[in-house]
Amino acid sequence: MVELDNSFKGIMLTENQRLLMLMDVQFRDPEEACGLLGGKGQLTLAVVPVTNMLRSTNRYRMEPREQLRAFNLFDAQGLEITGIYHSHPAGPAQPSQSDINEAYYSDAVHLIWYKTSEGWGCRAFRIHGGSFREVDILIDHH
């Protein structure tokens, strides 16, 4: 089994990128929201919300044309897929078994949005080889 890269410490977001994801998650509630992050290494340079074609409260599948447009945008800007976000409106606050089984981009950070008593929280994970490890979310407030 391939081990997770323990030197990877987290993903860097701007406050505006965090707010964009939060607004998407809130807008699509109670359905799962989803989208892609593009960047270089740990640095996020683009956040692209994508329609959940399943319109489900506990599963997501990105609408293929929108997903392809995001990939093309990232390619045109010289970016990699650095992250994938989606929400768990009814929990859990970590990857589900479906998330683990369907984690096709092992280098991407998986951001899971979940409800708390104060609103929405977000945690980040690396998923690889049937296991996951939490990583930091670093917010640049400038």
Domains of the chain from N-terminus onward = 10-140 (3.40.140.10)
pLDDT per residue over 30-56, tens digit each?
999 999 999 999 999 999 999 999 999
Contact 104, 89 (CB under 8 A): no
Strand, coil or helix: 98: helix
Question: Which one is catalytic: 32, 66, 102, 118?
Answer: 32
| Chain CA centroid to CA 104, Å | 13
Query: 24 is written with which tokens?
Result: 């998407």
pLDDT tier for residue 6 given thresholds of 50, 70 and 90:
low
Q: Is-catalytic flag, 31?
A: no
**pLDDT tens digits for 64-106?**
999 999 999 999 999 999 999 999 999 999 999 999 999 988 8
Report the b/e string of 55-77 with b at 16+ CB within 10 A.
eeeebbbbeeebbeebeeebeee
pTM of the model: 0.92
pLDDT digits (tens, 9 = 90+) for 51-61: 999 999 999 99
